[in-house]
Amino acid sequence: MQFSYEVKDSYAEVKGVGRLNMVAAPKLREVVAEVVAGGSSRVVVNLAETDFMDSSGLGALIGCLKAARQAGGDLRISGVQPQVKMVLELTNMDRVLTAYPSAEAAFGND
Amino acid sequence: MTRFWTRLIVVLTVIFGVNYVAWRWFASLNWDAWWIAVPLVIAETYSLIDVMLFGLTVWNLKIRKPPPAAPDDATVDVFITTYNEPLDLVLTTALAAKKIRWPHSTWILDDGNRPEMRELAESHGIGYVTRSSDWTPDMPRHAKAGNLNNALMLTSGEYLLILDADQIPEPDILDKTLGYFNDDKVALVQTPQYFINVPADDPLGSQAPLFYGPIQQGKDGWNAAFFCGSNAILRREALMQLGLVGYVKATEQSVRRALAASRSAIKKARHSAEAENPLVGKMLDEVEAATKEAQQELESGASLSEITYRVRRNVDDAVRTLVAADFSALQADLEEIAAMELAHVGESGVTTVAGDAVDRMSGREWSPLGALESVHAVLEAISVERTGEAQPIMPLATISVTEDMATAMRLHSLGWRSVYHHEILANGLAPEDLKTMLTQRLRWAQGTMQVLLRENPLVQRGLSWGQRLMYFSTMWSYLSGFAAVVYFAAPIIYLTLGILPVSSLSFEFFVRFIPFMVVNQALFLVAGHGIPTWRGQQYSLALFPTWIKSCTTAARNVWFGRPLGFAVTPKARQSGGPSWSLIRPQIVVAVLLAVAMVAGMARLLAGLSEPLGTLVNVAWVAFDLVVLSVLVKAVLYKGFVPEGSAAPETPGSPEGPQERNADAV
């Protein structure tokens, strides 16, 4: 899995391409920690090109959410694919995370 | 064929048992002596239910065939958990783990955070893990469950083999077990726990052939094989899913609670001295508006991260605006601020306010709201960060000191399957002195009772009735301490006072009691295939003070939040001579039994009691004394000496491993 990020005006966008599984999970945590440490605590993880996620991947997202919140910001997800949507529902994680249609929309109203 | 006989005897046990106990309840109680008659019939009913649950367990006994081969690319992390065990013992296990044939990474999970351990691990190319910086001193550590949860976040193998520091694995342990995971729904494969430092007569009852045998095989038949903490392989995905589901549940609960508590917290704050400050009053209005909005959003199904984010932002914005507007009021606090390096002393000597003072004074800790502790606490709790735990995702259950049972039960209720693989693939060390053994048994019993009281298996959604009863069966068996007291008291009372709890010891009694006793023993004989179960039967009665203590301490812990008085089981033998004080209650009971026996004889000679009643009760007392005699052996046991010169017992004998409970004996 490849991660890249881009700091925009009011948020930073982290993109993940491939499978966000137990192997990629620690990498995601590192990337987001780097982004937050760089001063962008408003983070969107764009999952438009993430075609598979397991529970470890979701666990990493929660870890990143905590890191962003503790830095006074927030972490949001966008572009959720069908398999990822299913995993979110299976674990009830859709009660916690809202899936936004696009990275721009994630922080659209604040 | 064995299955047929087992089931036949189970049916007979139920028929004869119900026949006897029903007669005891409805036709034989000596109401004149209700104070012993009623406890005795309750104890007998307890034992009947216990044996019926055992019967249910072995009804579905599952003998498994070897699993298919696992896919070559399955990745495994081997975790060796340690806290304070000697370094060489941990290293021996770790080196054996390294030699496991299936490709894997070996990790020592050192909760003792010992630099020497780290050095030793690194010099042998073994991974070393201690708690991450998230585990600050103010966070609950959750013992072994916390240790494993921490390591789960730092590793990435698909499967996890968990080993206690003294469990030396065979090189083929993974080859023989990983294939079970080809079934996508399998989350756990448990193998036996077997101890190599135990003499043939097993004075401390360390081996648990009945548990790691018919009981686990029977539970397996109901898809309820237990996780026993070590020598088990787990699927990471299943554990992480458990962690996520638990996280969502805990977060939703804490947000709901905080919102419910906010109304009274705000009301209380309005009556406090601080609220006389108009600034604080206005802030409270804002907080109230924000929490009301959040409540509405929650009901309309908005996500928790959105809701909590909005509350935080609304409150922070409001506080910031108000603080900025009322900034002059803060001047008075400059002296204190200076002490905290927020203010700079200008060259002229005039105190000036630092540029970011408004920001910092509006921060959560510093704003005037911070002074209103109850409101502050409510706002802190409206969050998705699970602030009360070191990490939001806690895959292994932390509700009990025996995290294994609680975790397995949650896995089962999410629909995962478990497997019991009946082959010794790791060799461990059992306690070698009574004190350590008692500590260990107490811990297991306490943990089991915590699970019963916190997550009663009988009412867990997602579990089948078979699974519910399999968990309940083990918990039920730990209540035996109370029954034991009655079984000791009843013959003492008859022999000394002549009071019989049964209306008469007539033909009616024997014709019901004897068939029940006979099939009961036959059940253990047939289901156990001649496995030695006597040691287990002795300890399930003889350790009655331990079982009772586990119930009372667990109840106090769960209901009143009192500590369990938990201790890690020491691996090294405790020094010192025989410690009779450890079994004081049992000595008292034994003396009373002996005195009662003499008194009974005397009463018989004096013509005060009848021969039949005396005979039955003397036999009963003799049985009790034989049961208790195991403790003499245990107290005098001086630790394991390998037979002959050096050769320790070879593993792989049909006798299974460590009894983890007083199960159904």
Closest Cα in chain A to B316: A72
Chain mean pLDDT for chain B: 88
Distance CA B433, CA B575 (A): 9
How far, in Å, CA of B255 to CA of B270, rounded?
22
The nearest alpha carbon in chain B to A98 belongs to: B303
- pLDDT at B575 (0 to 100): 62
State residue B354's pLDDT score: 53
Stretch B455-463: mean pLDDT: 96
The confidence score (pLDDT) of residue B656 equals: 35
| Calpha distance B192→B423 (Å, rounded) | 7
Residue B659 has pLDDT above 50, yes or no: no
Contact assessment for residue B408 and residue B227, using Cβ atoms and an 8 Å cutoff: yes
Position B319 scores a pLDDT of 78
| Three-state DSSP state, A51 | strand
Closest Cβ opposite residue A69 in set B306, B385, B391: B385
Environment class of residue B507 by beta-carbon count within 10 Å: exposed (0-12), middle (13-18) or buried (19+)? exposed
Helix axes B34-59, B2-27, angle to 10 degrees: 160
Each residue of B532-566: pLDDT tens digit?
888 988 999 999 999 999 999 999 999 999 888 75
> Is the pLDDT assigned to residue B34 strictly greater than 90?
yes
B367 touches chain A (CB under 8 A): no
Separation in Å, CA of B384 to nearest CA in chain A:
7
Interface touch B306/A98, C-beta < 8 Å: yes
Task: Calculate the alpha carbon distances from A97 to A32, A62, B241 in Å.
Answer: 17, 9, 16
Strand A99-100 relative to strand A74-78, pairing: parallel
Q: What is the mean pLDDT of residues B191-202?
A: 94
The pLDDT of B67-83, averaged and rounded, is: 96
Q: Do the chains contact at A22 and B236, CB–CB below 8 Å?
A: yes
Residue A61 included in any domain: yes
pLDDT score, position B657? 34
Give the angle subtended at the CA of B75 by the CAs of B164 and B238, to the nearest 5°. 70
Pick from B158, B243, B305: CB nearest A65: B305
Is A67 part of any domain?
yes
**In chain A, helix, strand, coil percent, each to 5?**
40, 30, 30
pLDDT at B565: 77
Bridge partners (DSSP) listed for residue A107? none
Q: Which residues contact B229 (CB under 8 A, 6 or more apart)?
A: B144, B162, B164, B402, B403, B404
pLDDT score recorded for residue B359: 61
Largest Cα span, chain B: 110
Task: Find the domain containing A79 and state its range.
Answer: 2-105
Residue to substitute from A90, A96, A97, A107, interface B, most B β-carbons within 10 A: A96
Residue A9 lies in a domain: yes
User: Pick from A66, A76, A96: which is nearest to B248 by CB?
Assistant: A96
HSE-up (13 A, CA, CB side) for residue B182: 12
Mean pLDDT, range B146-174, rounded to an integer: 97
**Token pair in block for residue B308:** 């909590």
Residue A50 φ/ψ, nearest 5 degrees: -100, 105
- Encode pLDDT of B97-124 as tens digits: 999 999 999 999 999 999 999 999 999 9
Q: Where is B516: in which H helix or E strand?
A: helix B507-527
Residue A99 lies in a domain: yes
Task: Provide the β-strand partners of residue B129.
Answer: B109
Our count of domains for chain A comes to 1
pLDDT score recorded for residue B533: 84
The closest alpha carbon to B396, from B569, B254, B247, B557, belongs to B247
- Long-range contacts of B623-628, Cβ-Cβ distance < 8 Å, separation of 24 or more: B624/B487, B624/B488, B624/B491, B624/B541, B624/B589, B624/B593, B625/B590, B625/B593, B625/B594, B627/B537, B627/B538, B627/B541, B627/B542, B628/B541, B628/B542, B628/B586, B628/B589, B628/B590, B628/B593
Q: Are strands B186-190 and B168-169 parallel, antiparallel or unpaired?
A: unpaired
* Mean pLDDT of the region B389-396: 94
Q: Is the dihedral of CA B21, B22, B27, B29 positive or negative?
A: positive
Q: Which residues of A touch B187 (CB under 8 A)?
A: none
The string of pLDDT tens digits covering residues A21-77 is 999 999 999 999 999 999 999 999 999 999 999 999 999 999 999 999 999 899 999
- Domain for residue A110, yes or no? no
Average pLDDT value for residue range B42-69: 96
At CA B189, angle to CA B220 and CA B445, rounded to 5? 70
Helix B278-299 to helix B373-381 angle (10° resolution) is 30
Predicted pLDDT at B597: 96
Q: Is residue A75 in a domain?
A: yes
How many angstroms away from the CA of B320 is the closest CA of chain A?
A: 14
Classify burial at B643, counting beta carbons within 10 Å of its beta carbon; exposed 0-12, middle 13-18, buried 19 or more: exposed
B244/A92 touch (CB, cutoff 8 Å), yes or no: yes
The contacts of residue B297 (CB under 8 Å, 6+ apart) are B306, B307, B310
Taken in order B512, B515, B518, B521, the sign of the CA dihedral is: negative
Coil, helix or strand at residue B187: strand
Concatenate the DSSP letters of all residues of B486-506 into one string: HHHHHHHHHHHH---SBS--S
Residue B196 sits at the vertex; the CA angle it makes with B481 and B428, to the nearest 5 degrees, is 75
Q: Token pair 């009021």 is at which residue?
A: B329
Q: Which residue of B has its CA nearest to A106?
A: B306
Residue B524 has pLDDT above 80, yes or no: yes
Q: What is the DSSP letter of B665?
A: -
Put simply, whether B105 touches A (Cβ < 8 Å) is no
Q: Which residues of B401-440 are buried (b: 16+ CB within 10 A; e: fewer)?
A: bbbbbbbbbbbbbbebbbbbbbebbbbbbbbbbbbbbbbb
Residues B60, B65, B66, B70: is their CA dihedral positive or negative? Answer: negative
Residue A58 within any structural domain of the chain: yes
For B:10-69, CB contacts with A below 8 A are none
> Stretch B406-427: mean pLDDT, rounded?
97
Which residue in the set A25, A55, A75 is minimally distant from B244, CB to CB?
Answer: A55
Give residue B373's pLDDT: 72
pLDDT confidence bin for B663, thresholds 50/70/90: very low
- The domain that contains A57 carries what CATH number? 3.30.750.24
Q: Which residues are within 8 A (CB) of B625 and not within 5 positions of it... i.e. 6 or more apart?
A: B590, B593, B594
| Confidence category of residue B592, pLDDT binned at 50, 70, 90 | very high
Q: Is the CB of residue B519 less than 8 Å away from at least one CB of chain A?
A: no
- The ipTM is 0.95
Pick from B386, B252, B394, B233: nearest CA to A59: B394
The token pair at B506 is: 């007539």
Q: Are strands A74-78 and B232-235 parallel, antiparallel or unpaired?
A: unpaired
* Cβ atoms of B451 and B399 closer than 8 Å: yes
Is residue B461 pLDDT above 60, yes or no?
yes
Neighbours of B358 (CB within 10 A): 15
Contact predicate A80/A99, CB 8 Å: yes
How close B382 comes to chain A (CA, Å)?
12
Q: What does the block give as tokens for A104?
A: 């721009």
- φ, ψ at B624 (rounded to 5°): -60, -45
Of B586, B570, B228, the closest CA to residue B433 belongs to B570
B569 DSSP assignment: P
Task: Report which of residues B644 and B165 the model is more confident about.
Answer: B165
